[in-house]
Structures are given as structure tokens and as C-alpha cells.
Amino acid sequence: MNRDIRTEIMRRLSAERPDPKSELDYTTPFELLVAVMLSAQATDKSVNIATAKLYPVANTPEAIYALGVEGLESYIQTIGLYRSKAKNVIATCRILIDRFASQVPDDFDALVSLPGVGAKTANVVLNVAFGRPTIAVDTHIFRVANRTGMAPGKTPDAVAEKLVKVTPKDYLKNAHHWLLLHGRYCCKARKPDCPACPIADLCEYKEKTTA
């Protein structure tokens, strides 16, 4: 796939959603960090339901740390892997208090040093909270990048690295949202909605679905 096609793909996706937003509910970088940590192998909807109960009670590192692991578990037990997530969030709160003056760092290496924070979570926080031109590759973006031929790769890290290199700079800041939402609502895993797809004629997957 050449640069012109990639540019047109991003132009169409941006026209479809000119002001894309994260579907996780948050008001501060810390709330976003916790929500993204909780969202691993869980839906944004389930996370939002849990944090709607949690954040009015505790939405700072100090307040959540004061809950303790068991206290936090009581708010997030409807989310998959809640026990391990609670331990990681509490440990992260302690580190934020001790090392970062209770502020979420806007640095990749600092973020991935936090318990339970991997490259994907770090890049989401950098992009959404701090406006950095990063792309966090989740299952939706991994699928879209490979299906379209925009940035094929065998691993999420490989796809992320390639997407950052090949995505036109004018679209890089919001590319994460556009690709994620396209994968979530149109280029779905089992039944991609190719007839309604705004980039179907540019996509290398289209012949497989119409044959």
C-alpha cells in the first residue's frame, strides 16, 4: 500500500469522525490511567459502569490507595481479572504518590515502569491525556491495520511501530481513535460491515469478503 492510499484512508476515516474521543469516561489523566488499566480484556462499557461508582468516592492516587486492594475490588469486581487489576492499581497509586508527586507522568518510560502498565496503556494515556501522536495497538487496530494492508504485522508492537512510521503526520494525533472506532463498529472481527465501510474500495480485504 502506498502513501497516497494511506492518506486517503485516513482522510475518509477523519471525515466520518472529525472529533474522535475515547469511549472511556474520565476527567483527569489519573482517572484515564486507571480506566485504561481496568479495560484490559474488558469492555469500555463495563469499565465505565465500575468507575461511575468508584470515582465519586475515590479519584486520586491517595484516595484509591486508602481503599486498599480489597476496598478497590468491591468497586471493580464486575470487571474481568479484577483481583490482579486491583493489586496493580493500588501499587501504581503508591508509586505515583512516592515518585511523581501524585501526578501521572507524560513520559513513556515512566509510565511503563508502573505495575500493570504496558506499552498499549502508556500510549493511550500519552495520546488521549497529553495529546501525543502515539498509536496504541489493541485488538481492533491490529485487525484493521492487517486487513486493510495499511500496516501489516505479526505482533501489536510491530504494527504500532509501522503505523507510527507510515501514517501521514497530519493524521497521526487522532489515528489511534479513528482506527480503533472503525474496527469496533465497522471492521468487526467476525462480520465486517464492508457494504457500509467508507474505505472498502481501498482495502486489501475487500476481495475476500465479496468473492
Q: What is the DSSP string of 115-158?
A: TT--HHHHHHHHHHHH--------HHHHHHHHHHSSS--SSHHH
The chain-wide mean pLDDT, for the chain, equals: 93
Average pLDDT of the segment spanning 112-116: 97
Residue with cell 472481527: 189
Please check the confidence at residue 210 and state whether its pLDDT lies above 60: no
CA terminus-to-terminus distance, the chain: 21
Q: CATH number of the domain at 29-130, please?
A: 1.10.340.30
Average pLDDT of the segment spanning 141-160: 94
3-20+134-206: CATH topology is Endonuclease Iii, domain 2 (1.10.1670)
Half-sphere exposure of 181 (CA within 13 A, CB side): 18
Average pLDDT of the segment spanning 7-35: 95
Please check the confidence at residue 211 and state whether its pLDDT lies above 60: no
| CB burial string 36-67: b at 16+ within 10 A, e below | bbbbbebebeebbebbeebbeebbbbeebbeb
- Under 8 Å between Cβ of 87 and 72: no
Predicted pLDDT at 206: 55
Fold agreement (3-20+134-206, 29-130)? no
- The domain ranges of the chain are 3-20+134-206, 29-130
Alpha-carbon distance 139 to 189, whole Å? 9
Residues involved in catalysis: 120, 138
Helix (H, G, I), strand (E, B) or coil at 210: helix
Average pLDDT of the segment spanning 118-140: 93
